[in-house]
Chains A and B, each alone.
Chain A
Amino acid sequence: MQKIYIRVLIMMICSASLIMAGCMATTRNLNPQDETHYDASYDFSDKNKIVERLVTPLLTAPAFPVQTKPILIVYPVVNETSEHISTGGITDAIRTRLVQSGRFRFINESQRDNIQKETNYQNQGYVDPAQRVEQGRQSGADYILSGTLRSIKKQQPEQMRLFKKERIYYSLDLSITDLKTGEIVYADQAELAREASKPIIGW
């Protein structure tokens, strides 16, 4: 009799464990370089691909000889897609790669107000004169780096079908403009196209 109770108890524990394991929230680390897409829309894998595609040729572009180390200022990539995409992530990644290459220097436009605040403070008499940062010595940009992200979306026309197909084409046009002449001295384009399908019927 006691054996039966033990068996029942073991079975109950096993069942409870299985149910709990099935319902448990899980987390796992992903490699940011791995390509993962849940649908056709833009995601972090696309960002990495676009950045890689644009930065590699720029590093060897003859327009910017190795010894010159030009100074660039980054203007935000304009989002002309039909999705809310944070294009700041693209410009930040491009800038990081270019800074790390040692071929380019960058003006930190987003910190201008803070730089002004800090240098004003230093020159108000609180900081040791020998250590004060002299005002009016900031570097000026030689070039503007800018871009536009666009997309073209096409959905399968309405007809009898079990899956809804969607195709999206993305393009990022990157350009570098010479501040002195206003001339575009470098331009490149990265493209991505993807098709995804979604079942029309679900639970």
Chain B
Amino acid sequence: MVRPKNVYLNLSFAIIAILLTTGCLSLPLQKARSEFYSGDLNQADYLLEGCKGVSEKDLLLCYMEKGIILHYMEAYEESTEVLLKASQLIKAQDQISVTDQSSALVINDRVMTYKGEYSERLWVHTFLMMDFLLQSKYEDALVEAKQALELYDKYPDSLAGDHFTRALIALCYENMNLPDDVRIEHEKLAKEMGIEKLSPEPVTHGKGELVLFIAQGRSPIKVSSDVVLPPTIRISIPVYTDGSPPASVSIRSYGNTLDPFKISTDLGQVARKSLDERSAQYLTRQALRAGAKEAIAEKVGEDNVIGEVFARAILFILEEADTRSWETLPGGLTLVRITLDPGIHDLEISSGNSQTVHLNGVDIPEGGRAYRSLRF
């Protein structure tokens, strides 16, 4: 016969261990994010070196954050390498894990392996497409475009609002001289945007094009939204914080304001829709977990009333929403395509009321494209 006191003691140790483990999971990730937003990209990259100190369950987040950090350090080859690992991991994790599900059933969703929201899975390919285009690897960019299209087909409702990625896919087809696919993607994009037709100016003989990937702001983060039901049932679900849509981008060249082809995506809006789409999954798990926790508390209460109070308190504390997300993502992404004469150009790019970025000495090839990625 096991003494109730020993049971409580063991339970307390187990709970403290779980709390400590879950609390420490993202320490290098949190530090790297904070360094990234304070502008020390090298330190942010260093903190995620080899993803040391990051739990296996958060490995995907580590790859995703590091991929973006390296992208904005202009280390496009290294960013590609890391984001390809993220892409492979997403595919490898595309399975329902019995261990994950069973531990989430009694603890919380935070103990599960992070698989990425549908939108985040798409943005891995979006950043890979940008990385490959910036390295002039057009075939590889097209491979990523096709993988992104598979996700659009799989989660059409969640991802329909991501116009930037769709326009990027069309651009990848354009680079490979596949006009039918370009037309199809532009038709889909026009439909999603609710406009009749969308056709950016083609690169003609004697002209060139500058393609800008403009990132603005910071994507909204997930926070916990809690509801308490009697007697001690705590429902804790993740919700995205409010964000603002991407500000307008203006481009000037030698004193003249240009009016190029622009397509923007509010990443926060797509992320929210994506999370909503997944709500049935985590709400079902919440309901099952609430039932399981209630049963555990009642079982403990059969032997000891104080024990039940103690167990209820611990199980209440343990209920925590999974607020993990890809936090270095921008709030908005804008694709800008500017037709220019071949040669060297100086440009000024401003986003809303924030600072102006000077792009000097951009070499536009005749009949070709030059690519730049900026973040405000």
Residues of chain A having any CB pair with chain B under 8 Å: 78-84, 153, 164, 198-203
Report the bound CA distance from A153 to B154 in whole Å: 13
- B99: chain A residues at CB < 8 Å are 203
- 13 pairs, A vs B, C-beta closer than 8 Å: A79-B139, A80-B142, A80-B176, A81-B143, A84-B140, A84-B143, A201-B95, A201-B96, A201-B97, A201-B98, A202-B95, A202-B98, A203-B99
- B176: chain A residues at CB < 8 Å are 78, 80
- B96: chain A residues at CB < 8 Å are 200-202
- B140: chain A residues at CB < 8 Å are 84
- A153: chain B residues at CB < 8 Å are 150
Asked if residues A82 and B150 are in contact (CB atoms below 8 Å), the reply is: yes
Asked if residues A200 and B84 are in contact (CB atoms below 8 Å), the reply is: no
Interface string of B285-312 (1 = CB under 8 A from A): 0000000000000000000000000000
Report the bound CA distance from A62 to B259 in whole Å: 57
For residue B146, CB closer than 8 A to chain A, the reply is yes
Chain A residue at minimum C-beta to C-beta distance from B143:
A84
Report the bound CA distance from A143 to B96 in whole Å: 53
Interface string of B57-76 (1 = CB under 8 A from A): 00000000000000000000
Q: How far is the CB of A171 from chain B (nearest CB, A)?
A: 15
A84-B140, A202-B98 known, 15 other contacts, Cβ within 8 Å: A78-B139, A78-B176, A80-B139, A80-B176, A80-B178, A82-B146, A83-B143, A84-B84, A84-B143, A164-B94, A198-B94, A198-B95, A201-B97, A201-B98, A203-B98
Are A199 and B146 CB-contacts (below 8 A) given A79-B139, A84-B84?
no
For residue B224, CB closer than 8 A to chain A, the reply is no
For residue B147, CB closer than 8 A to chain A, the reply is yes
Asked if residues A81 and B97 are in contact (CB atoms below 8 Å), the reply is: no
Report the bound CA distance from A127 to B80 in whole Å: 45
- A78: chain B residues at CB < 8 Å are 139, 176
- A199: chain B residues at CB < 8 Å are 95
Q: How far is the CB of B54 from chain A (nearest CB, A)?
A: 21
Interface residues on B, range: 10 to 19
- A201: chain B residues at CB < 8 Å are 95-98
**Residue of A79, A198, A200, A202 with most partner-chain B CB within 10 A:** A202
- A84: chain B residues at CB < 8 Å are 84, 140, 143
- A83: chain B residues at CB < 8 Å are 143
- B142: chain A residues at CB < 8 Å are 79-80
Report the bound CA distance from A142 to B165 in whole Å: 43
Q: How far is the CB of A15 from chain B (nearest CB, A)?
A: 26
- B95: chain A residues at CB < 8 Å are 198-202
Chain B residue at minimum C-beta to C-beta distance from A199:
B95
Chain B residue at minimum C-beta to C-beta distance from A151:
B146
- B98: chain A residues at CB < 8 Å are 201-203
Closest 4 CB pairs of A and B: A82-B146, A202-B95, A79-B139, A201-B96
Are A82 and B147 CB-contacts (below 8 A) given A199-B95, A201-B96, A202-B95?
yes
Asked if residues A81 and B84 are in contact (CB atoms below 8 Å), the reply is: no
- A79: chain B residues at CB < 8 Å are 139, 142-143
- B143: chain A residues at CB < 8 Å are 79, 81-84
- A202: chain B residues at CB < 8 Å are 95-98
Q: How far is the CB of B152 from chain A (nearest CB, A)?
A: 13
Chain B residue at minimum C-beta to C-beta distance from A158:
B154
Report the bound CA distance from A200 to B139 in whole Å: 31
Interfacial residues of chain B within 97-147, with CB under 8 A of chain A in the complex: 97-99, 139-140, 142-143, 146-147
**Residue of B96, B97, B139, B176 with most partner-chain A CB within 10 A:** B139
Q: How far is the CB of B111 from chain A (nearest CB, A)?
A: 15
Report the bound CA distance from A79 to B178 in whole Å: 13
**Residue of A79, A80, A164, A201 with most partner-chain B CB within 10 A:** A80
Chain A residue at minimum C-beta to C-beta distance from B140:
A84
Q: How far is the CB of A200 from chain B (nearest CB, A)?
A: 6
Report the bound CA distance from A79 to B95 in whole Å: 29
Report the bound CA distance from A82 to B149 in whole Å: 10
- A164: chain B residues at CB < 8 Å are 94
- A80: chain B residues at CB < 8 Å are 139, 142, 176, 178
Asked if residues A203 and B146 are in contact (CB atoms below 8 Å), the reply is: no
Report the bound CA distance from A36 to B68 in whole Å: 36
Report the bound CA distance from A82 to B140 in whole Å: 9
Q: How far is the CB of A167 from chain B (nearest CB, A)?
A: 13
- B150: chain A residues at CB < 8 Å are 82, 153
Q: Which of B94, B146, B178 contacts A81 (CB 8 A)?
A: B146
Report the bound CA distance from A153 to B150 in whole Å: 9
- B146: chain A residues at CB < 8 Å are 81-82
Q: How far is the CB of B234 from chain A (nearest CB, A)?
A: 29
Report the bound CA distance from A82 to B145 in whole Å: 8
Q: How far is the CB of A201 from chain B (nearest CB, A)?
A: 5
- A81: chain B residues at CB < 8 Å are 143, 146
Report the bound CA distance from A198 to B95 in whole Å: 9
Report the bound CA distance from A79 to B142 in whole Å: 9
Chain B residue at minimum C-beta to C-beta distance from A82:
B146
Q: How far is the CB of A146 from chain B (nearest CB, A)?
A: 14
Report the bound CA distance from A113 to B237 in whole Å: 61
